[in-house]
Structure 1
C-alpha cells in the first residue's frame, strides 16, 4: 500500500485562474502527490491566460473517499460554474466531515462558505464587496492575508499566493 497523497483539484470549465491551478499542482506533484482534476465536464477547461487542462472526471463522478484533499481553483469562472454547484458543495461537506483537507483560492472560498464549512473559521478570499460579504454572511472570520490555514481548511487570496497556498495544502495533509 502506498502512502502517496491524493489531491482532487477542481477547475471551472472556463476562465479559471491559470496560476492558481498550475502553480499549486506543480507544488503537489513535486512533493509526490497524485493530482486528479475534475470540472463540470471532462471537456478541455480553459484558463483566463490561455492555459488548458483536460479534466480526468466530472464533478458528478467524484468519490471524495478516494482523496486526501480537495483544492478548488479560483478565477472568474468559479462564480459562473462552481459557487452554486450543489454537487460540489456536497463533496466539500463530505470531505470536511471525513477530516480531509478542504482548500480553495481566490474567489473559490465562496464555494466553501456556500457549503457551510467556513462557519467560525479564519479564512481569506480575493477581496471584493461580494466575496467578503458572502463569507461573513456564512459565518467565516475573514482576514485579508495571502494564505490562511485553520485546521484542515486552507484558503488563498490571489495568484500571488498560489505557490504558498500549494505548500499550505500539503502541510495540512501531513
Structure 2
C-alpha cells in the first residue's frame, strides 16, 4: 500500500502532514511526498520536510491514494496548480482514495470531485465559496467520508482524518 502525500512548498500545516504520516508508517503504509517542486518544504511553524518529487512528475498509477495537506500554503500554491488539478482528477476517476484537509478540499472541488458530494473545509469566505461552487454539500463537522473522498476541516482533525484514510484503505 502506497500513498502520495502533497504539501505546499511553503506554509503547509505541520500536524496535518506529520500526524497522518506517522500513523501511515505505523499501519505499514508507505508514502511519497510531492510538492510544486522537489526539495525542501517549509511549514507554517518552521518545520521542514523533503518533497522527493514534483507534482508534475507523480503518476496516479504508482499509488493507492492521494492525501493533500492544508495550511495557508495550500491556498497560496496548490489551489491554482494545474498539475495537481489534473493529478487529482486522475485519482478521482480511478476510484482511489482522495483525501484533503484544512484548505486543501478546495483542490478537490476545483478538480470536479465534490459535485454532489458531502465535504468539509477550513472555513474562510474563499474556501466556502469555492467548494460550494464545486458542487459540494458543505458539512460543518471535522471529518467527512463520502465514498472514496475524505475531507477534514482543521489541524485538530488530523488524527481522525488519518484514521479515516487508513480504514478506507483497509489497513
TM-score tier (shorter): over 0.9
Give yes or no for contact 2:78–2:84 (8 Å, CA) kept in 1. yes
Does residue 168 of structure 2 align to residue 172 of structure 1? yes
CA distance in 2, matches of 1:173, 1:96: 15
CA RMSD across the alignment? 0.7
2-structure distance, mates of 1:98, 1:134:
24
The 2-side partners of 1:23 and 1:6 are apart by: 17
Where does the alignment leave 5 or more consecutive residues of structure 2 unmatched?
none
Pair 1:158-2:143 in alignment:
no
Matched, 1:105 2:101: yes
Q: Which residue does 1:124 correspond to in 2?
A: 120
Aligned length: 170
TM-score after normalising by structure 1: 0.96
Q: Using the alignment, how far apart are the partners of 1:110 and 1:10 within structure 2?
A: 14
Q: 1:115 aligns with which of 111, 117, 121?
A: 111
Q: Provide the rounded CA distance (Å) in 1 between the counterparts of 2:164 and 2:74.
A: 21
Q: What are the superposed Cα offsets for residues 100-134 of structure 1, whole Å, 9 maximum, x if unpaired? A: 10010000000000111001110000011111111
5+ residue gaps, structure 1, are none
SS at structure 1 position matched to 2:51 = coil
Task: Decide whether the 8 Å contact of 1:151 with 1:172 is kept in 2.
Answer: no
Distance in structure 2 (CA, Å) of the matches to 1:42 and 1:90: 18
2-structure distance, mates of 1:128, 1:78: 13
Query: What is the aligned partner in structure 2 of residue 60 from structure 1?
Result: 56
User: Which portions of structure 1, spanning 4 or more consecutive aligned residues, are displaced by more than 6 angstroms?
Assistant: none
- Residue 39 (structure 1) aligns with: 35
